[in-house]
A and B are shown apart, each in its own frame.
Chain A
Amino acid sequence: MSLFTSLNLGAGALLAQQAGVAVTGRNTANVNTEGYQRESIDLRAEPGSPLVGGVRTGDAYRSSDDLLSARERTQAGAGGHAETLAASLSDLEQRLTGGGGDLIGSIGDFFAGVGKLQSAPTDSALRQEVVAAAGTVAAQFRQAASGIAAATSEAKKQVTSLAEQASQLASQIATANRALATSNDPVLADQRDLAANKLAALVGGQARVDADGQMRFVLDGGAVLVDGGRAATLSAVTTGGTLALHAVDGVHDTDVTSQVAGGKVGGLLSFRNGVAAQAASDLDQLAYDFANQVNAVHRANIGLDGSTGRDLFVAPGAVAGAAAALTVTPAIVADPRALATRSPGAGPNDNGGVAALLSLRDAAVAAGGARSFGDEAIRMIGAVGSAAAQASADRDLQAARTDQLASARDSVSGVSQEDEMAKLAQFQHAAEAASKFISTVNDLLGTLIAQL
């Protein structure tokens, strides 16, 4: 082997160690970069007879585990779902029980007022108290309906915003796919994986890298969001009060609502079209039953002013919207003497109408005859609370699982500064050795040339 060949060998070794230093440098520089996966470099000995050959570097490759990545994306979807569902339910619970909201208490106070009126049906102050309490019940129904409407509206806004984010992420994946078709840059692959994880956190689903290196992102129900260089756009659409998610790929417009089971969007859809819709329906039914039952009793009895056949509450036209529209009949608010406290045929001091109203307090006339008004209000609000408690526990569980997977992923792909420092020292010493080799060969050459 000639000295010139040795010089090339030394140069190759120096370049190889420098490449190692560069990879170590890139790892260290990106220690806090989100989605960055630790890179390594292959050093392979050049084949050849003794005293011929050297070292060759391969491309930098990412330290990743495809199975772990898939599990992380699945977990991201579950975690996102649990996060938004828990937050939305907690918000709804606060709207129903906080800020002066006390439907249950108002129902109790109404019947307490009626109870007081038993022994003094002509007392004007007590009659005013009952009318005012009826007004409070109506106001509480309206407030609760408004709270549910606000919570569902907020969920819709979030879905709309998250759908836009999901569309952008899908577009990023498609862009990365197109770039990776002609490039092997690991950073592009990192960015694509990060976008896929974030997209999974938003809409659930799963991503798969095919043999051609292109990533395909598919929703839980099978709809394709990203296929190679093409990505669909997600948008939120309200139809008949129900929120839906549509995927548009330029040609087709597909309702993918039922296919988004996971992710933050899935959690919000579960909330809006599930618990929130049920709460709104239950509230309207309770308001409808309450108004109609009280009105039926009130109509059958007589006020101090001789009026009869009058509703205490403005009769709701239908179950839907009954809570939001509930009000006390204005004529009774204006003159509590119109409150029907006596039975037909009885004198003014009769309290038959009061007793009839009071009998509604504990009667099973709500929820299709299953329970009383107060118990139904407790069940309805309690159901939201139970769902919120369960969602909160699930969120904590999913967070723990996410942590666990993050630790496992970090163990494989994370950058350890200790490891990188060790490698840096290794490559540094190797580069110094290669430099020394080059210097030595150079001296030998110099000696030879001097002797010529």
Chain B
Amino acid sequence: MRVTESRMMQVASDGVGKARDRAARAAQAASSGTRVNVPSDDPAAWAEGRRAELRQAASTGRGDSLGRARDHLAATDSSLGTIGTALARIKELAVETSNGTYDAASRRDAAVEVGQLRATILAAANATGSQGEYLLGGSQAAAPFSAAGAYGGDTLTSTVEVGEGQSVQIGVPGTVLTAAGGTDVFATIDNLVTALQSNNAAGVQAALTPIDSIVGQVANARAQAGAQMSALDAADQARSALEVRLGDEKSRTLDADAVTAASTFAQAQNALAYARAVAGVVSQLAGKNS
């Protein structure tokens, strides 16, 4: 085949151009650490990487929500704990004063202490969380328990996503302290106070069973909150592990392997140097022939 000087020069020049282009792309990948910058670099890997990013974003939102939900439950558990501690003392007082050896004055003193404990329980029942929400009020924004102990909240709990496609109900409604939960806490305490104030030993005795009941209710409510917290903790651990996997997946699909990128860059540089040398020789040959 006949090869003209101009054709040789053109081929050599094109070769340098292509080698330069390859070297530039290799340099970009090696310096940025990213193999896939735009979809056309590797459409399948790009799509996989972006899907991993979407799942990461969802996980980030979920993590924030899990943290706040856990804080809410921890605060709820703390309130229930306060209520439980107060009820334990009330039970002690009730057991003691149900004894026939106690006189009216002692029972009146006990009534005062029970009254103070009732106030503590009411304050704990109306406690708020970090967002200002009433911990035992359900979805309502007003204080759930009146001074008389009437419940004005609702039974609604919050739906919280704990995993991909998984949600749980979070929250302990204040009905655990009402007759709907078994025995009305405030009514039981009020009855005890009345019996103590009237020096009614039989009345105090009769209050022991419902007091046991409400102690058990609150313990169950704490267990419920505790179980929800454990579920959130497990979900958060799983979420953290998922984020690590997603990060690895994204890196595997989108990032350049450092060793491969450096090697490719070195090869491209060598190819460019070689192409330039060939172009130089061709140019000399063409010059000699003219």
Instruction: Give CA–CA (A112, B137) in the complex, Å.
Output: 27
CB neighbours (8 Å) of B61 from chain A are 111-116
B1 interface residue, CB < 8 Å from A? yes
Would you call A348 and B140 a contact (CB within 8 A)?
yes
How distant is the Cα of A443 from the Cα of B122 in the complex, in angstroms? Answer: 144
Which residue, B46, B132, B154, B159, has most C-beta atoms of chain A within 10 A?
B159
Residue total for B at the interface (Cβ-Cβ under 8 A): 57
Closest to B57 in A: A108
The residue that A378 contacts in the complex, of B2, B50, B68, with Cβ under 8 A, is: B50
Bitwise, A207-221 to B at CB < 8 A (1) or not (0) is: 000000000000000
List B contacts of A417 (CB < 8 A).
4-5, 286, 289-290
A interface footprint on B141-160 (CB within 8 Å = 1, 0 otherwise) = 10000000000011010111
Q: Mark B27-55, 1 if CB is under 8 A from A, else 0.
A: 00000000000111101001100110110
B72 within 8 A of A: yes
Cβ–Cβ < 8 Å partners of A120 in chain B: 65, 68, 131
Q: A31-B6, A115-B161, A119-B158 are in contact. Are A384 and B39 (CB under 8 A)?
A: yes
Distance in angstroms from B160 CB to nearest chain A CB is 5
CA of A313 to CA of B221, assembled, Å = 42
Quick one: which of B51-92 are within 8 Å of A by CB? 51, 53-54, 56-58, 60-62, 64-69, 72
Cβ-defined contact, B141 with A349, below 8 A = yes
Residue-wise, chain A 327-355 has the 8 Å CB interface mask toward B (1 for contact) of 00000000000000010001111111001
Q: Cβ of A361 < 8 Å from any Cβ of B?
A: yes
Bound complex: CA of A355 vs CA of B46, how far in Å? 30
Alpha-carbon distance A113/B60, docked complex (angstroms):
9
Query: Please, how many angstroms separate the alpha-carbon atoms of A386 and B43 in the complex?
Result: 6
* A141 → chain B closest CB, angstroms: 17
Least distance between A109 CB and chain B CB atoms (Å): 6
- A122 and B141 CA atoms in complex are apart in Å by 10
Cα separation A342 to B154 with both chains bound (whole Å): 14
Residues of B within 8 A of A386 (CB): 39-40, 43
A105 touches B160 (CB 8 A): no
| Known pairs A90-B40, A115-B62; A350 contacts B57 (CB<8 A) | no
**Interface presence of B3 (CB below 8 A):** yes
Closest Cβ of chain B to A204, distance in Å, is 24
Within 8 A of B (CB), among A348-367: 348-352, 355, 358, 361-362
Q: Assess whether B109 is interfacial by the CB under 8 Å rule.
A: no
Question: What total of chain A residues lie within 8 Å of the partner, measured CB to CB?
Answer: 63
A254 within 8 A of B: no
What B residues does A361 contact at CB under 8 A? 58
- Which A residues are CB-close (under 8 A) to B159? 118, 351-352, 355
Determine how close the nearest CB of chain A comes to the CB of B284; give it in whole angstroms: 14
Q: How far is the CA of A355 from the CA of B138 in the complex (A)?
A: 16
Asked if A53 is at the interface of the complex by the 8 Å CB criterion, the answer is no
Does B170 sit at the interface, judged by CB under 8 A?
yes
Q: Is A414 an interface residue (CB 8 A)?
A: yes
Once the chains are docked, how many angstroms separate the CA of A118 from the CA of B65?
Answer: 6
Asked if A112 and B57 make an inter-chain contact with CB atoms under 8 angstroms apart, the answer reads: yes
- The reply to whether B14 and A403 form a contact with Cβ atoms under 8 Å apart is yes
Stretch of A222-230, A255-263, A286-294, A405-413 that contacts chain B? A405-413
Query: Which chain B residues in 151-205 approach chain A with CB under 8 Å?
Result: 153-154, 156, 158-161, 164-165, 167, 170
Chain A 93-109 per-residue mask, 1 if CB under 8 angstroms from chain B, else 0? 11001100000110111
> Is there contact, CB below 8 Å, between B46 and A362?
no
Q: A350-B158, A352-B159, A412-B2 are in contact. Are A407 and B7 (CB under 8 A)?
A: yes
Q: Given the complex of chains A and B, what is the CA–CA distance between A98 and B56 in angstroms?
A: 21
Q: How far is the CA of A408 from the CA of B7 in the complex (A)?
A: 10
Interface status of B120 (Cβ within 8 A of chain A): no
Q: Which of B50, B51, B132 has the most CB of A within 10 A?
A: B50
Chain B facing A: main interface SS = helix
Asked if B39 and A418 sit within 8 Å, CB to CB, the answer is no
Question: For the complex, is B11 an interface residue (Cβ under 8 Å from A)?
Answer: yes
B64 to chain A: closest residue by CB: A116
**Which B residues are CB-close (under 8 A) to A98?**
38
CB of B133 closer than 8 Å to a CB of A: yes
- Docked-complex contact B141 and A389, CB < 8 angstroms: no
Given the interface pairs A109-B57, A347-B140, A350-B158, the reply to whether A411 lies near B1 with Cβ below 8 Å is yes
Any chain A CB within 8 A of the CB of B251? Answer: no
* A123 interface hit (Cβ, 8 Å): yes
Contact yes or no, A111 B6, CB < 8 A: no
With beta carbons under 8 angstroms apart, the residue of A108, A116, A379 that contacts B65 is: A116
Which residues of A are found within 8 Å of B283, using beta-carbon distances? none
- A contacts with B: majority SS: helix
When distances are taken between beta carbons in the complex, the residues of chain B under 8 Å from A31 are 4-6
Q: Which of B4, B38, B57 contacts A416 (CB 8 A)?
A: B4
Complex CA distance for A355 and B69, rounded to whole angstroms? 14
A421 interface residue (CB < 8 Å to B): yes
Expressed in whole angstroms, the minimum distance between the Cβ of B114 and any Cβ of chain A is 32
Minimum CB distance partner of A38 in chain B: B4
Residues of chain B contacted by A418 (CB below 8 angstroms)? 5, 289
Tell me whether A388 and B140 are in contact in the complex, defined as CB-CB below 8 angstroms, given that A123-B131, A414-B7 are known contacts: no
Q: Does B6 lie within 8 Å of A115, measured CB to CB?
A: no
With contact pairs A385-B38, A403-B14 given, residues A410 and B7 touching in the complex (Cβ less than 8 Å): yes
| Chain B residues closer than 8 Å to A104, beta-carbon distance | 50, 53-54
Asked if B139 CB lies within 8 Å of chain A CBs, one says yes
| Docked complex: A380-395 residues within 8 A CB-CB of B | 381-382, 384-386, 388-389, 392
Chain B nearest CB: distance from A75 CB in Å?
Answer: 16
With A108-B54, A108-B58, A355-B167 in contact, is A115–B4 under 8 Å at CB? no
User: What distance in Å separates the Cβ of B166 from its nearest Cβ neighbour in chain A?
Assistant: 11
Q: Is A374 an interface residue (CB 8 A)?
A: yes
Asked whether A414 lies within 8 Å of B4 as measured between CB atoms, the reply is yes
Q: Is A375 an interface residue when CB atoms closer than 8 A count as contact?
A: yes
Q: Is there a chain B Cβ closer than 8 Å to A415's Cβ?
A: yes
Q: How many Å lie between the Cα of A378 and that of B43 in the bound state?
A: 10
A118-B232 Cα distance, complex, nearest whole Å:
14
Within 8 A of B (CB), among A213-253: none
Q: Which residue from chain A places its CB closest to the CB of B36 in the assembled complex?
A: A385
Would you mind naming 12 contact pairs between A and B with Cβ atoms under 8 Å apart? A97-B39, A111-B58, A112-B61, A120-B68, A122-B131, A351-B158, A384-B39, A407-B1, A407-B7, A417-B290, A418-B289, A421-B289
Which of A's residues lie within 8 Å of B, judged by CB? 31-32, 89-90, 93-94, 97-98, 104-105, 107-109, 111-120, 122-123, 342, 346-352, 355, 358, 361-362, 374-375, 378-379, 381-382, 384-386, 388-389, 392, 403, 406-408, 410-412, 414-419, 421
Starting from the known contacts A118-B159, A347-B154, A412-B2, 10 additional A-B residue pairs (CB-CB under 8 Å) come to: A111-B61, A118-B158, A119-B66, A120-B65, A347-B156, A389-B39, A403-B11, A407-B3, A411-B7, A417-B289
